[in-house]
Amino acid sequence: MTSFAAVDAPETSAQESETPADTGIQSFLITFIIRRFDPEVDEEPRWVDYDVELYATDRVLDALHKIKWEVDGSLTFRRSCAHGICGSDAMRINGRNRLACKTLIKDLDISKPIYVEAIKGLPLEKDLVVDMEPFFASFREVQPFLIANSTPEKGKERVQTIADREIFDDTTKCILCAACTSSCPVFWTDGQYFGPAAIVNAHRFIFDSRDDAGDVRLDILNDKEGVWRCRTTFNCTEACPRGIEVTKAIAEVKQAVLRGKA
């Protein structure tokens, strides 16, 4: 069963799940050390230990649920889909940005404690929750929507070849989780850099043959806080849970800026 050193466990809740011991499948007692912060109580974040019994096929999100539902309901984190689609549960797990819902326990070294903390570079609100507004402000700034000067013929679609669609296929996969931007050392320094995710989403429209505002976006990104701040550290590519080649997309936007058009 779950145990917790610092806070008394609440009464059993209706959400309490079946314990691993009831199933006959091997389970493991794993220590999670979570960086907690309650702005109403704490002056500084503090690390708190939790021992959680889990299966190898459980995910870090399952551990967070068990802690919240069975041990301390005040643990705060975001999640929605639980299947790697909504992008709401990016966090640092053992020092690496990942989605809690896509990180399997069997892929972590459970002989040591697992450290979990909020992503870096964005204002910490509570526990694992950061203020995403600066991230979304950069995203909005690159105009991440189709801007077309012409109107398609009545009843017709805007036609695009398979080859033209493939040019930006990779960057359509972004789920705006911020794992890339919040793993970028340039973004950490002052938070002014547009960041990889905004550039990925600009790329998605800059190279779309149906769009007519590529030059506007290139102009926006040819800024002192734009693509030239990228130092090609590849942290973003390593962090992306969708496998997007983020650094490559940034390089393609840089080349388009130099060419003067998409």
Task: Using CB under 6 A, list all residues that contact ligand FES.
Answer: 79-82, 84-89, 99, 101
**Cβ distance to ligand SF4 smaller for residue 67 or 200:** 200
Which of 240, 256, 257, 262 contacts ligand SF4 by CB under 6 A? 240
**Within 10 A of 53 (CB to CB), how many other CB atoms are there?**
17
Pairwise CA distance, residues 228 & 225, whole Å: 7
Long-range interactions of 60-65: CB distance < 8 A, separation 24+: 60/93, 60/98, 60/100, 60/101, 60/103, 60/105, 60/108, 60/114, 60/116, 61/89, 61/100, 61/101, 61/103, 62/105, 63/30, 63/32, 63/105, 63/114, 64/100, 64/116, 64/128, 65/17
Taking residues 195 to 214 in sequence order and writing x for each that binds ligand SF4 by CB under 6 A, - otherwise, the string is -xx--x--------------
3-state secondary structure of 174: coil
Select from 209, 205, 118 the least CA-distant residue to 163.
209
Pairwise CA distance, residues 76 & 72, whole Å: 10
Taking residues 75 to 104 in sequence order and writing x for each that binds ligand SF4 by CB under 6 A, - otherwise, the string is ------------x-----------------
Q: Does 30 bind ligand SF4 (CB under 6 A)?
A: no
Which of 221, 246, 253, 256 contacts ligand SF4 by CB under 6 A? 246
75 interface partner picked from ligand FES, ligand SF4, none, CB below 5 to 8 A per type: none
Give the helix/strand (H/E) hosting 199: helix 196-206
Which of 91, 105, 122, 177 contacts ligand SF4 by CB under 6 A? 177
Candidates 27-35, 39-47, 177-185, 220-228: pick the segment binding ligand SF4 (CB under 6 A): 177-185
**Within 10 A of 116 (CB to CB), how many other CB atoms are there?**
26
**Cβ distance to ligand FES smaller for residue 2 or 103:** 103
**Cβ distance to ligand SF4 smaller for residue 180 or 220:** 180
Minimum CB–partner distance for residue 89 and ligand FES (Å):
4
Which residues contact ligand SF4 (rule: CB under 6 A)? 87, 174-180, 196-197, 200, 239-240, 242, 244, 246
